[in-house]
Amino acid sequence: MSKQEVFERAHIKFPRAINLEKLEDLLSRIANNLSCDIPYEIKTNKIIYKRYRENLEDELLHIEVSGSINSEEAISESFMCGNPNGNYIFFNSLNFRSIPGNKSKQYRKETKDLWDKVREQVRFYFYQKRSKK
């Protein structure tokens, strides 16, 4: 497996961008269906406006979600959720930490299997959401 194939396997694109609430729903589904723990952190950047305004206004500028998926087989795999270009309050991917230049054989089989299982859960999640419309 080439370096590019490792990158593609470790980066899971969503069919469409989702908001934080739906991302948390997806992470819950992954944890439940794969019987794993997913500790994660949400970082936000906000601004509160008052200058030149009659009332206070606030705006969410950026959300960053990162964490790890802890399973018995793969121990712990770190991830970050990606944002679509120029839109920092929606998410369009779940990206496992892969080391640039590493080839597939340099990753444990359990790690690659976890990536594949998570990818399948993501596909199933979006398929179910589409079917319910």
Res. 121: pLDDT tops 70? yes
pLDDT tens-digit profile of 35-74?
999 999 999 999 999 888 888 888 888 899 999 999 887 6
- The strand pairing partners of 73, in sequence order, are none
Q: Parse the chain into domains and list their residue ranges.
A: 3-128
d(CA 94, CA 124): 15
What residue type is assigned to position 53 of the chain?
R
Q: What is the CA radius of gyration of the chain?
A: 17
First to last CA, the chain: 38
Is there a contact between 122 and 12 (Cβ–Cβ < 8 Å)?
yes
**Global confidence as pTM:** 0.84
Top-confidence residue, 18 or 99: 18
pLDDT value at residue 89: 87
